[in-house]
Structure 1
Amino acid sequence: MRLLKILPEDKRRLKVMFLAKHALADGTPDPQDGNHAVYHVEMRETLRGIGLHVEARNDFDALFTPTGADFVVTLLNRAGFLNSEMLAPLLLTREGTPFLGASPIIRGLGDDKHLMKTVARQRGVAVTEWNVHRRGALSPPAEPHFAWERLVVKPNASSASWGVGIFDQWDTAAAHIADLHAQGHDAIAEPFFGTGDVVLPVVGGDGPVLLPAMRFAMPGAGDNFRSYEEKRALVDAPRERLEAITDELLVDRMRADVMRLLPELWPFDYGRFEFRHDAQSGTLRFMEVNLSCNLWSKKTVSGAARLLGVSHAELVETIVAHSMLRQGVIAAVERV
């Protein structure tokens, strides 16, 4: 992986806004968001550590008047309302201020699990069967047309396993769909498949950079399911272990699928492509894409970069430099 560095003269002149829910926090875990608060503070200090002048803000009010910023690093993705990940990109596009991530419409596509499965199937990428259950649909949720023994029901646009339920009876699955609708969410249902998640991170550098493929190993969990509370360290539970995938054939298949999907999503600055894999049969199925995913040093993208000898700070600077360069904020970078 070739690293990108922002030139010293650009670091001196650029005004960068860092927008995140916990951007003004002290790094203490939050009672509701857990280690996400730690992540936001780490990102703020990493940006400052690479030499950028950073103003930290923690709400959308900062975007309703001119920001005065040359570039915005926005992590204000889950802001308490549906499709909130699109609001900062929309407001910044309205103002004409470049920002980290991807365009609003691409963010919306990536966060809609049903639409991304539709795109994947059109691109020749294997997916599990699924039903989408929109709020206000023409007909009430019906039992799936596909065969299933256990049914996974989750919000159609969510992250970190929030709202995910696994059911072996349709009546309880339907009740969960109704509950998600009552909370303002569309729902998606798919058969439980495979023995674990496998992930391929992609970041911007000199074009798309496909990082090493990774898998999660969850001690004591036969289905490798990690709840929202576990991912955010809100409960006392075994921690997942992030491992590099050494099966070269599996990695090649994942990379081939990602390359089929990239033309629908590029340009973006960072994300991860997630699949379900069945170790017994070798079957691989695309699950979802998470653009502008978690960049905490303890999570997937940074862990994959470390396998290449890239530090967290080097990774963040490369991603930010790529974003600034593609949007004309800077005219050149140093390549290492």
Structure 2
Amino acid sequence: MFKVPEIQLNAYGKPARILYLAPYAPDAPDFSQKPYTGNGGYPQYHYNIYKAIQDIGYDVVSSSKPYSVQFAKGNVDYVFSLMNRFQMAKPEIFISSYCEFIQVPYLGAPPNIRAIAEDKLLTKLVFRSLGLNMPEGMGLSKEREIPAEAPFPGPYFVKKRFGAASGGIREDSICGTWEAVASCAKRLMEKGHEVLVEQYCEGIDVTVPVLGGEEPVILGFVQPKSDKPGNIITEDLKLHDHLGYQLVSVHDLEQDIIADVRKVWAAPGPLDYFRIDYRIDFEKGERRILEMNICCHLGKSGSICLAAAQHGYTQADILKYILDYSMRRQKGLQQYGTWLI
């Protein structure tokens, strides 16, 4: 499927120096795992990725502070950021934008493409323009009143317009009436969130992990397990009671999904790695794309590593490949070799 590369060397012939950023990344002088603070398994996950990048041979410095990216210029060769959530509005593009400013290569995708992926309404509009199957949807916010009449037929699904880890999704996110939509949306808006309302899709969730390359590398098809109504993935299930993933056959839809991935790759790409999340009704043979995720979960128990393992690849292999591809993709960015850290 792909050849596992050696680690990238910098201009001095040494392993590239990487600044690792994540909300629970280790901090100097004690580079140990952060204590659990109730945020699912993120402390252990962020620490494990830090160790995994070290173990494959890279020179890694680490910080849990997003402003540490200011010190990347001249000090490191690359920024590996899982800083998808921190205390600012719409934080997802902060690191990539700053890295573009200081011209240091970084994980993921250009800021404008990352913004499209993080805004689930924009994702819907862009993907529809590519001819991809998306459920009907609209955005809601406290700046404007919720329409009195439903703009499209139900049933409905209500979630955050921006968010990760199924944040804010509960069993009552499935709404049979527009009145139920209004109630669920108000709950989220009262907490300061913008809302996406879309047509609820019958079926199961199937995620498609993809690596970058000359052509996108589709690793397989994975189902996140659920015991919730409609097989949905709620916030508590995602963070605290995860049932895991399993490989799944998509039967006659495989070639259609491959075509979808190639359309995405041809427009917003290239991307270092990503997932496209579907709802698939196998009885009707229908697929609907829900969203795209960039810089998503790379843990050993996650969908990417599970899909890769069926081809004989380890987490270390995946990290080596992503880092190698990402650094080569960004060779045009000016490099700085002075290490001050």
TM-score (norm 1): 0.89
Task: Mark the CA change 1:8 to 1:221 in structure 2 (over 3 Å): closer, same or farther.
Answer: closer
In structure 2, distance between residues paired with 1:136 and 1:103:
29
1:40 is matched with 46
Q: Does 1:123 align with 2:136?
A: no
1:281: how far off?
Answer: 1.1
In 1, the alpha carbon distance for the partners of 2:8 and 2:205 equals: 40
Q: Alpha carbons of 1:215 and 1:170: their partners in 2 closer, same or farther (altered >3 Å)? A: same
Q: Which position in structure 1 is the counterpart of 2:337?
A: none
Does the aligned pair in 1 maintain the 2:25–2:33 contact within 8 Å?
Answer: no
Q: Secondary structure at the match of 1:64?
A: helix
Alignment partners' CA distance in 2, 1:168 and 1:95:
49
Is structure 2 residue 189 aligned with structure 1 residue 181?
yes
Gap change, CA 1:243 and 1:51, over 3 Å in 2: same
Alignment deviations for residues 77-116 of structure 1 (CA, whole Å, 9 cap, x no partner)? 0113331111111111111111011111111001111111
**Aligned partners of 1:303, 1:74: CA distance in 2, in Å?**
22
Query: Given that residues 157 and 186 in structure 1 are in contact (C-alpha distance below 8 angstroms), is that contact kept between their aligned partners in structure 2?
Result: yes
2:243 pairs with 1:232:
no
Q: Distance in 1 between matches of 2:228 and 2:7?
A: 47
Distance 1:311 1:329 in 2: 30
Aligned to 2:3: 3
2:282: which partner in 1? 279
Give the superposition deviation at 1:306: 0.6
Residue of 155, 158, 165 corresponding to 2:163: 158
Is the Cα–Cα contact under 8 Å of residues 99 and 105 in structure 2 kept in the other structure? yes
Aligned to 2:18: 16
Equivalent residue number for residue 336 of structure 2: none
Percentage of identical aligned residues? 26
Can you list the C-alpha shifts for 1:151-180, whole angstroms capped at 9, x where unaligned? Answer: 211111111110122233433421332333
| CA RMSD across the alignment | 2.2
TM-score after normalising by structure 2: 0.88
Which residue of 2 is the match for residue 56 of structure 1? 62
Provide the residue aligned with 2:306 in structure 1.
303
Tell me the secondary structure at the aligned position of residue 290 of structure 2: strand
Give the whole-Å Cα distance in 2 for the aligned partners of 1:223 and 1:240: 15
Tell me how far apart the structure 1 counterparts of residues 235 and 196 of structure 2 sit (CA, whole Å): 17
1:185 is aligned with what amino acid? H
**1:174-222, Cα deviation, whole Å (9 max, x unpaired):** 133233333332211112211210111111244421111112232x434
Provide closer, same or farther for how the CA distance between residues 142 and 201 of structure 1 changes in structure 2, counting only shifts above 3 A: farther
Following superposition of structure 1 onto structure 2, how do residues 304-323 of structure 1 map, counting pairs within 5 Å?
304-323=307-326
- Aligned pairs for 1:96-111 (under 5 A) are 96-111=103-118
Unaligned stretches of 5+ residues in structure 2: 334-341
Which residue of 2 is the match for residue 289 of structure 1? Answer: 292
**Cα pair 2:142 2:194 within 8 Å, conserved:** yes
Match of 1:263 in 2: 266
Kindly indicate whether residue 205 of structure 2 is the aligned counterpart of residue 197 of structure 1: yes
Report deviation, 1:19.
0.5
Task: Determine the C-alpha separation between the residues in 1 that align with 2:330 and 2:297.
Answer: 22
| Partner SS for 1:12 | coil
Secondary structure of 1:277's counterpart equals: strand
Aligned partner letter, 1:44? Y
1:30 Cα shift?
2.5
CA distance in structure 2 between the aligned counterparts of 1:131 and 1:231, rounded to whole angstroms: 24
Q: 1:334 matched to which residue of 2? A: none
Tell me the amino acid that sits aligned with residue 284 of structure 1. R
Is the CA contact (8 Å cut-off) linking 1:4 and 1:322 kept in structure 2? no
- Count of residues in Structure 1 that have an aligned counterpart in Structure 2: 323
1:329 shift after superposition: 8.1
